[in-house]
């Protein structure tokens, strides 16, 4: 049957029409036409390079606007930190959603509010502003451990800094902390290197600037406060004698603060590509880039809306939570 030229032709006809078999379609074109399509593809490569320049100019524009936003973000920071007390005029707000509350809810809220007012007689600024933002965003709360929370209460601001004009494209996320018992840094920084140029071998995959890598920073943990490490006790049985002994090991611990020690550098250069460790760190990096991008694009520009919950979207990725190791004895290192 496969020798029948009519059936072969009919099959080929079907193949030609198939979306997702691009090479087959190209191959089926008359030679003179294929030649012209190649000319169009060369024009398309030129378009990709123009597009790269476009994104560089958008980056310039973002830098320009970052400077326009900054006074507003600084004022936000001053209000959060209780450096500045806004005037009555600045605090006037008519919001539909707050008026839609039923009388009953308002009554309850009032009771609650009075109770709170009694409890914390004079709260300074907006307590736990950034911690609340973190808790309200799935992408961030997934990284958050219980032991991170007392530390993030001291987070006072996150700033986005763009690379200077003429420098390779990059941005930094600066986490500003008030002095605290956990580490001596008041600034923790994560820098993302970006690239806005088509790949030589895959020019058509270019679709705007990409995050290419990132670097973290060293956290000077106070002794015994490093939540990114934990000591576990393991019972070992001697093979010959059958006696049992307990050994103590220091191992990595889940923590938001691992964000500042991304797997790049050591692991990536020592692991031969394609090994399991390499794939693992690739996945960690992909998640890390997504988080960095999200903090830059959404969290910093509209933090208050994540604080109140107004900006929370339903379409956040849902990750399955993995079971925790319940048997390990955990304490900060």
In this complex, which beta carbon is closest to its own copies, that of residue 110 or of residue 233? Answer: 110
End-to-end Cα distance, the chain: 73
Cβ proximity to its own copies, 2 vs 247, nearer residue: 2
Shortest CB 136 distance to its own copies, Å: 6
DSSP class of 168: P
* Closest CB 103 distance from its own copies, rounded Å: 12
Residue number, 30 or 272, with CB nearest to its own copies: 30
Q: DSSP state, 263?
A: S
Calculate the dihedral angle through the C-alpha atoms of 258, 264, 269, 270, rounding to the nearest 10 degrees: 10
What DSSP assignment string belongs to 174-231?
A: EEEE-S-SSBS-SEEEEEEEEE-S--SS-GGG--S-EEEEEE-----BPTT--TTEEE
Q: Which of 200, 327 has the CB closer to its own copies?
A: 200
| CB nearer its own copies, residue 41 or residue 233 | 41
Q: Is 118 within 8 Å of 288 (Cβ atoms)?
A: no
Min separation Cβ 269 and its own copies, Å: 27
Smallest gap from residue 71 Cβ to its own copies (A):
9
Which of 216, 141, 139 shows the shortest CA–CA distance to 185?
216
Q: Which is nearer to its own copies, 29 or 283 (CB)?
A: 29
Strand, coil or helix: 32: helix
Residues 6 or more apart whose Cβ sits within 8 Å of residue 158? 130, 173, 174, 175, 176, 295, 299, 300, 303
Shortest reach from residue 270's CB to its own copies, in Å = 30
Q: Please, what is the minimum distance in Å from the beta carbon of residue 14 to its own copies?
A: 12
Please report how close the Cβ of residue 51 comes to its own copies at its closest, in angstroms: 8
Distances (CA, A) of 205 to 123, 167, 230, 314: 52, 24, 42, 29
CB of 36 to its own copies, least distance (A): 5
Residues facing residue 172 across a β-bridge? 161, 191
Cβ-based nearer residue to its own copies, 115 or 235:
115
Report the residue number, 65 or 319, with the smaller CB distance to its own copies.
65
Q: How far is the CB of 193 from its own copies (least distance, A)?
A: 23
Q: Which is nearer to its own copies, 15 or 218 (CB)?
A: 15
233 pairs with which residues across the strands?
Answer: 248
Residues 6+ apart with CB under 8 A from 191: 170, 171, 172, 173, 214, 215
What are the backbone angles phi and psi of residue 150, rounded to the nearest 5°?
A: -60, -25
Contact between residue 155 and residue 130 where contact means Cβ atoms under 8 Å apart: yes
């Amino acid at each position: 049957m496969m020798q029948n030229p009519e059936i072969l032709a009919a099959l080929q006809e079907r193949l030609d029409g198939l979306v997702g078999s691009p090479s087959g379609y190209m191959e089926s074109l008359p030679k003179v036409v294929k030649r012209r399509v190649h000319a169009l593809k060369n024009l398309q490569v030129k378009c990709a390079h123009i597009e790269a320049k476009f994104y560089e100019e958008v980056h310039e524009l973002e830098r320009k606007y970052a400077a326009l936003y900054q006074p507003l973000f600084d004022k936000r920071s001053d209000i959060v930190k209780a450096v500045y007390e806004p005037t009555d005029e600045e605090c006037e707000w008519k919001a539909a959603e707050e008026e839609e509350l039923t009388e009953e809810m308002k009554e309850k809220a009032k009771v609650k509010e009075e109770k709170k007012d009694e409890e914390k007689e004079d709260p300074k600024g907006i307590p736990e502003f950034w911690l609340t933002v973190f808790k309200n965003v799935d992408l961030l709360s997934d990284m958050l451990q219980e032991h991170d929370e007392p530390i993030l209460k001291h987070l006072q601001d996150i700033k986005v800094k763009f690379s200077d004009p003429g420098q390779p494209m990059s941005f930094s996320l600066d986490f500003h902390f008030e002095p605290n018992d956990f580490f001596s840094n008041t600034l923790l920084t994560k820098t993302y290197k970006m690239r806005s140029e088509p790949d030589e071998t895959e020019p058509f995959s270019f679709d705007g600037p990409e995050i290419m890598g990132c670097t973290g920073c060293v956290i000077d943990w106070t002794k015994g406060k490093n939540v990114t490490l934990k000591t576990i006790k393991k019972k070992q049985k001697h093979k010959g004698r059958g006696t049992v002994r307990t050994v103590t090991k220091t191992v990595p611990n889940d923590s938001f603060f691992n964000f500042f020690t991304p797997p790049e550098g050591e692991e990536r250069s020592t692991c031969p590509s394609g090994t399991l460790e390499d794939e693992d760190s690739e996945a960690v990096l992909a998640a890390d880039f997504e988080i960095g991008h999200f903090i830059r694009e959404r969290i910093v520009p509209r933090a208050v809306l994540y604080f109140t919950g107004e900006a929370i979207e339903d379409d956040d990725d849902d990750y399955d939570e993995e079971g925790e190791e319940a048997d390990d004895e955990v304490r900060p290192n």
